[in-house]
Structure 1
Amino acid sequence: MSSESNVTIRRATAPDAAATADVWLRSFAAALPSVVRPRSDDEVREYFRDVVVPLRETWVAETTDPGNREIVGVMVLNGDLLSQLYLAPDRRGHGIGDRFVALAKERGPQGLHLWTFQVNKPAHRFYERHGFVAVEYTDGSGNEEREPDVRYVWRP
């Protein structure tokens, strides 16, 4: 895996909301084609604009190429919950996710937890590689998508 040295990670600001939502939409569609989203694209964009960016600890990965700055990843923390980690599909496997997880662990040194869908096997491998352990499997009745999921926990 190559590291993306032309990518910086920083806190999201209000003007980032639309691009951040677009990364989420593209990533979700590519990684989870069988999962039915309960919200329209416009509702997702509104949620990022009105809730995620202003009210959550939202981080973005942005290219640093002069004249071509682009948001290529998003990570959202809500206390000890790593609630979102999505990368532009063409940026997977280049170390950005590793950098996000390292930052999440730095921000949550007592431990973290997250949910991912059971069908998302690449996410399982990714989180397990970073020391997260699956501790709970559900039938999906507790999430909006009604998709079976798994809860992972990381303890230092």
Structure 2
Amino acid sequence: MTPPVIRAARPDEYDEIARVWMESWVSTGLAEANDALLSNLRERVRHEIAQGWSLFVADDNGTLAGMLALHISGRYLDQLFVAPGYQGRSIGRHLLAFTREQMPDEIWLKCARGNEKAWRWYEREGFLYEEEKINPLNGLMMKYYRWKRVRG
């Protein structure tokens, strides 16, 4: 399989990006798909872009295989989600490699403690656990991680 192309998201894709985000989030078992969640994520995509997100997609010949949202100046990986039908195909690794190209020295992120599959993956990918805090927006306990380039 040829890896999807990682590229900047287009405004006409924002609703589809929100759908991929919702379906991937639901696949963690931490939420249920519904119209309210989809509507909230659609709104959030637009809001976060206005607040400085750099939004990218993994494009598999016109199908969105994943989404990636970065705050490059803050070295923050905000969102990385792979569409359920593409999970297990190294799309996340491609998105993370792209992230490291954008932020080559340091990256921090937070991940829901209940999303064990994700935080264990970040740990395997070299991110180090720093702390846990409750996210006041959704009440979830979040695990904070950081990756730094090793200078040799």
* Interval containing the TM-score (normalised by the shorter chain): 0.7 to 0.9
Q: Which runs of 5+ in 1 are unaligned?
A: none
1:70 and 1:54 map into 2 onto residues whose CA distance is 26
Percent of paired sites with the same residue = 26
Equivalent residues of 1:13, 1:53 under 8 A apart: no
Deviating above 6 A after TM superposition, structure 1's stretches of 4 or more consecutive aligned residues are: none
Q: 2:44 aligns with which of 22, 29, 47?
A: 47
Gaps of 5+ in 2: none
Structure of greater relative contact order (alpha carbons < 8 Å, 6+ residues apart) = 1
Q: Quote the offset at 1:93 in angstroms.
A: 1.1
Cα distance change on mapping 1:8 and 1:151 into 2, 3 Å = same
Partner of 2:129: 134
RMSD: 2.1
TM-score, structure 2 length as denominator? 0.86
Aligned equivalent of 1:81: 76
Larger strand percent: 2
Q: Is the 8 A contact 1:13 1:54 kept in 2?
A: no
State the partner residue of 1:150.
143
* CA offset digits 1:56-107 (Å, max 9, x no partner): 111101111xxxx211200010120000001111211101100111111111
Partners of 1:110 and 1:155 within 8 A in 2: yes
CA gap of 1:34–1:41, structure 2 versus 1, over 3 A, is closer
The count of aligned residue pairs is 145
2:136 and 2:51 mapped to 1: Cα distance? Answer: 23
SS at match of 2:2: coil
- State the TM-score, normalized to the length of structure 1: 0.84
